[in-house]
Amino acid sequence: MDTNSYRFGELSWPEAAKRLKEVDIVLFPVGSLEQHGPHLPLDTDAFDALHLAEQVVQSCSDPKPLVLPLLPYGVSYHHDDFPGTLSISNDTLSRLVYEIGMSVARSGVRKMVIINGHGGNTPALKYAAQMINRDAHIFTCVDTGETSDVDLAVLCETPNDVHAGEIETSTALASRPELVKLDKAKSFIPRFSSSYLDFSSKRSVDWYARTAKISPSGVLGDPSKASREKGEKMWEIMIRNLLEFVEHLKKLSLDEIYEKRY
């Protein structure tokens, strides 16, 4: 009997051949393995990216998009001062994602949504997406939360809640409460020497810093404001928005994506 799994890696090759004729879109979760303060697991970003991809596809109309196996490592050199952080370079990440993208394009996939759980991966993933589009002419996009960030900001009480703070602790309390050590959580809300450096400002520049220079615990945000209820609400929003986007993409041919105007 054929499996009706949406997980790419669980299909046999004849099943993959059949499914790739029915659906031309894949989701590619990319994470990181890095410190998330003294209270959250190292694989928070990786788990979150995979969880989001799988929840979206489970709710998606048939034929369901396929979910590629998670890429669990990312660009995390800025957390290197904290033990447990394992990082790969921008070159390696972009090359790997580029080659996977080119390979899925050769398998007949026409649209690839990269679901990125970690901000540090963004430059490399955007570069890879551009190069895949250039060389394979398929639709490739990167979602590092853009589909929901404005909505989550409304729920979040803390400014500059960037890392292991209110948002990530809430989502972890909702999805893996057994791995959250709330008694060890330390709040650290960064203050900035210029408003143009402030992560939460709409006018800030992109800049890069080693986390240990800013926060001794590795936390940037306020985990004490986290709750399971908030986390459930956040997951609901993230899943709903991304699902809506994927449903739009499913219905659109490549020509329509490029030519339709709204």
* Binding residues vs Zn ion (CB under 5 A): 44-45
Shortest separation between residue 210's beta carbon and Zn ion, angstroms? 16
Shortest separation between residue 149's beta carbon and Zn ion, angstroms? 14
Shortest separation between residue 32's beta carbon and Zn ion, angstroms? 7
Report the C-alpha gap between 28 and 142 in whole angstroms: 9
Cβ proximity to Zn ion, 44 vs 140, nearer residue: 44
Cβ proximity to Zn ion, 10 vs 80, nearer residue: 80
Give me 160's structure tokens.
């500059």
Cβ proximity to Zn ion, 45 vs 222, nearer residue: 45
Cβ proximity to Zn ion, 132 vs 173, nearer residue: 173
Report the C-alpha gap between 77 and 86 in whole angstroms: 8
Report the C-alpha gap between 99 and 211 in whole angstroms: 30
DSSP 65: P
Shortest separation between residue 58's beta carbon and Zn ion, angstroms? 23
Report the C-alpha gap between 159 and 168 in whole angstroms: 14
CB atoms within 10 A of CB 154: 7
Cβ proximity to Zn ion, 45 vs 143, nearer residue: 45
Cβ proximity to Zn ion, 131 vs 237, nearer residue: 237
Cβ proximity to Zn ion, 49 vs 138, nearer residue: 49
Shortest separation between residue 230's beta carbon and Zn ion, angstroms? 16
Give me 125's structure tokens.
């993933």
Give me 202's structure tokens.
């709409």
CB atoms within 10 A of CB 25: 21
Closest-CA residue to 192 (of 181, 203, 184, 183): 203
Return the half-sphere exposure (C-beta side, CA atoms, 13 A cut-off) of residue 251.
8
Residue nearest to Zn ion (CB): 45
Q: Cis omega before residue 63 (within 30°)?
A: yes
Identify each DSSP E strand in 144-241 by its residue range: none
Shortest separation between residue 44's beta carbon and Zn ion, angstroms? 5
Shortest separation between residue 95's beta carbon and Zn ion, angstroms? 23
